[in-house]
Structures are given as C-alpha cells and as structure tokens.
Structure 1
Amino acid sequence: MPPKKQKNPSVNISSSLEESEEFSLETTVPTEDISSSDERDRTGTQKVTRQLIERKELLHNLQLLKIEMSQKNLIIDNMKVDHLTKTEELEERLNVALHQKQVLALRLDSQLQLTQDEGRKQQALRKQEMDGILLRQKQLEETNRRLCDKAGDLRRSLRDLELTEDKYKELRDIPEERLSITEYVAVRTGERSSFMELQTERGQIRSFMRSYEEERRVRSELEIRNQRLTLELADTKGLIQEGDFKRDNYSNIKRERDAFECEVRELRKRLELLEMTHEVQTRERNELSREVSTLQQTVPLLQIDKDYL
C-alpha cells in the first residue's frame, strides 16, 4: 500500500505566522492608554506564540502518527503478501503430496497385480510340469516293474536250457513267433552248441541288461529333475510370499501419507495463527486511525480557541 502524501509543514507554519501577524496587527489598535495597550499587546503576543508552538507540536505529532500509520500499513501489506505466498506454497505442497500418494497407490496396486498374475502363471506351469513328471514317473515305474518281472522270469527260465532230443525236434518245427523266450533260447542254444554262439546269446542278454540300466538311469534323471522343479516351485511360492509382503507394506505407505496429512494440519494451524496476528494488527491500525481522527478534530477546536483569544 503506497504511503499517504504528507502535507508540507512549512506551508502550515507560514500560514500560522501570517495568522499570528494578522492577529498581532488586530491587537495593535491604539487606545487611550498607550502603556496598558503595549502590555496587553505583549501578553497577547505571548499567548499567540505559545498557542502557535502548541499548534506546531500537534501538527508535528500528527505528521509522525501519519508516517507511523503508513509504515504499519506497509508492514501489514507485506505480511499479507507473505501470508498469501506461504498459503500458495502450502497448497502446492499439499497437491504434490496428494498426487504422489495417488501415484504410489496406483503403482503398488499394479505391481501387486502383476506379481500375483506372474506367480499364478508360474505356479500353473510348475503344476503342469509336476503333473507331467509324476505321470511319466508312474509310467516308468510301471515299465520298470514289468521289466523286473520279465527279468526275473527270464533268469528263472534261463537256469535250465537243456532240451531232450525229442523236445528239441518238437520246438524246432514250431515257428519262432509262437515260441516263448525260454523255448527260443533253448532252441538256439541247441542249434549253437559252440562257445561263440553261447557268447552271442550272452551278449544279447547283456544288451537287454544295458537297456534295463538305461531305463534306470533315465528314471534317476527324472527324479533329479523332479527335485529341481520342486525347488523351483518352492522359490515361486517364495516370490508369491514376497508379493504378499509388498501388499502388507501398504501400511508403511499409509503411515507416510498420515505424516503428510499431519504436516498439512500443522501448517494450517500456523496459517490460523498468522490470520489472528493479522487481525490484531488490523485492530491496532484501526485504533491509530481513530486517534488520528480525534487529533484532526482537535485541531479545529484549537484554531477556534486561538481565534477567540
């Protein structure tokens, strides 16, 4: 608020001097008694001078009050500007905090959703692989059981491969497709009595046993893979639990939001305190204005008293 223009005190002093001179001229009217007239003139001049001094003091005090009031008005205007600036800053910080809270909430929800979806997909894949592995394991166990049974039967049947001549002739005339393994081996053994032929038969048996060992090795590898997938499934469950931890961590974000809201409440309290201070200063300014108005009303009364004297 620009300061009010102050009146030139020199103009007031000069006007007061002219009035005092006019008054002094009026008081110098000749009378019959010259000495008494001079004494009255001196007395009147002293009164006028004293009144003029009081008037100057009042005018000076009035000017000082006006200057003080202008300075306080400037201070009040500056405080208003500071108050508005701080209010805008606080509102901007509040809006930023609310926006950040919304962004964090959306990011947390999306992250939780993605983590849960990924966990469900991984769990479904692991479950599908486990089902396939378990099915394959059951098939291999069934095949292994059958092979073990066949191997046991074959061992028991191969214990006695000696055939009588009549039995040999009988089996030799039967097609190979209709012969059992024992009968076929007995026939072939009879046909090949030499050591090399016997070694060939043993080689076939070894090949069969290697096949059996290969099946056992594949089964072991599948069991190892089953264990690895079990561990991966446990890791996947751990990731899902970690996603649950992030969801549970939402309370920490909520506490941060509560802290921001508490700070906003504190700033609002400070704003209310500033408003109360502004009201107090406004009341003081009004009181000063009333005092100035009273002094301004006093000046004409003093002028009337001076004119009367």
Structure 2
Amino acid sequence: MSRKIAKASKKMNVSSSLESEDISLETTVPTDDISSSEEQDGKIKITRQLIERKELLHNIQLLKIELSQKNMMIDNLKVDYLTKIEELEEKLNDALHQKQLLTLRLDNQLTFQQKDARKYQELMKQEMETILLRQKQLEETNLQLREKAGDIRRNLRDFELTEEQYMKLKGFPEDQLSIPEFVSVSVLYHFFKKLHRLSD
C-alpha cells in the first residue's frame, strides 16, 4: 500500500511539475517574444527616425547649398546690374555733357549770327541812306542842270555876236568866257573855218 501511494505521489509530483513547467513555458515564452518584438520595433523606429533625420539634414544641407548658390547668383547679378547702371549713368552724363556743349555752341553761333545780321542790317541801312541821299542830290543837281540848260538855251537863242565881238572874245581864255560866249565863239570859229575852206 505504501509503495502504491509513493508511486502515485511520484506520478502526481511529476505530472504537477510537468504542468507547472508547461504553465511556466506558456507564460514565459510569449513574454519574451513580446519584449523582443518591442525591442525590435523600437530599434526599427529608432533606425527609421535616424534615417529620416539624416535625410532631413541632408535635404536641409542641399537646400542650404542651393540657397547659397542662388544668393551668389543674385549677388553676381546685382554686381552686373550695378556695373551696367554705372556704365549707363556714365553714358548719360557724357550725353548730357555733349548736349550742353552743343547747346552752348549753338547759342554762340546764334548770337554771332544775330550780331552779324544786325551789323549787316545796319550797314545796309547806312548804304540805303547814302544811296537815297545821293539820289536826292543827283535829282537836285539834275534839276539845277536842267534849269541852267534852259537858261543857256534861252541865252543862246537871244545872244547875238558880231564879227568884232567874235574877234575880241576869241582872244580871251576859255575859262573866262561865259557859256553862251564860249558856244558862240566855237560855233563861229567852225563856221568861219568851213567858209574859208569853201572860198579856197
């Protein structure tokens, strides 16, 4: 009886120990799996975060490089534009200076031409006044000569010269004779000269 009880107790102990082992296995194995999977998930998450962070840092670095390049391009463009603006300002200043010189030269030429025109007008005015004065003098002289010619014609028409007077006046110098006397003496001289030729 005691052996059977001992065997039975042994069986119960073995079975209980097996059951306890089974229970412990059932309870411990999932716990280990869960912890290892969580650790793996954590490691994966950390690895992904590191990769994403590195990618972000890399992208940021690329953006910084691109931004720096664009800033350099902008600076170069600014320098080019400033240089072009300076060149255009210099050309504009040169053009304005040339314009001022041309304007001054044109003003001087206009002033000189105006002075010449005034001098020419004054000279023409003086010449015209001289011509008009000379014309007036000639008209007055012509009138006087016409009056004298009329007087001479009347004197010649009324003047009678005898042969004795002719011989007397012939001996006088011409500048001492009056016009009627000079004409009469000349006419009679040529008349007597032709008369003597005919008589010869």
The two structures, once aligned, show a CA RMSD in angstroms of: 3.3
Structure 1: tracts of 5 or more residues without a match: 1-31, 198-309
2:157 and 2:39 map into 1 onto residues whose CA distance is 171
**May I ask how many residue pairs the two structures share in their alignment?**
163
Question: SS in structure 1 opposite 2:157?
Answer: coil
Cα contact 1:161–1:185 (8 A) shared by 2: no
Cα offset, 1:171, TM superposition: 7.0
Q: Which structure has greater helix proportion?
A: 2
- In structure 2, the partner of 1:145 is 143
The one-letter amino acid of 1:109's match is D
Structure 1, residues 205-225: CA drift from partner, whole Å, max 9, x if none?
xxxxxxxxxxxxxxxxxxxxx
Name the CA shift for 1:52/1:195 in 2 (closer, same or farther; >3 Å).
same
Which stretch shows the higher mean deviation, 76-85 or 134-143? Answer: 134-143
Structure 1, residues 92-126: CA drift from partner, whole Å, max 9, x if none?
23312321231122112101111012112222332
- In structure 1, the partner of 2:45 is 47
Name the CA shift for 1:71/1:156 in 2 (closer, same or farther; >3 Å).
same
1:1-309 matched pairs, under 5 angstroms: 35-36=32-33, 38-163=36-161, 169=164, 173=168, 176=172, 179-186=177-184, 189=187, 193-194=191-192, 196=194
1:55 and 1:180 map into 2 onto residues whose CA distance is 145
Cα offset, 1:187, TM superposition: 5.0
1:131 and 1:170 map into 2 onto residues whose CA distance is 50
Structure 1, residues 211-264: CA drift from partner, whole Å, max 9, x if none?
xxxxxxxxxxxxxxxxxxxxxxxxxxxxxxxxxxxxxxxxxxxxxxxxxxxxxx
Structure 1, residues 61-96: CA drift from partner, whole Å, max 9, x if none?
222221222132123212321331232133223312
Q: TM-score, normalised by structure 2?
A: 0.63
Question: SS in structure 2 opposite 1:72?
Answer: helix
Asked which structure has the greater RCO (Cα within 8 Å, sep 6+), the reply is 1
Structure 1, residues 271-303: CA drift from partner, whole Å, max 9, x if none?
xxxxxxxxxxxxxxxxxxxxxxxxxxxxxxxxx
The one-letter amino acid of 2:92's match is L
Q: Which has the larger radius of gyration?
A: 2
**Identity rate, percent:** 58
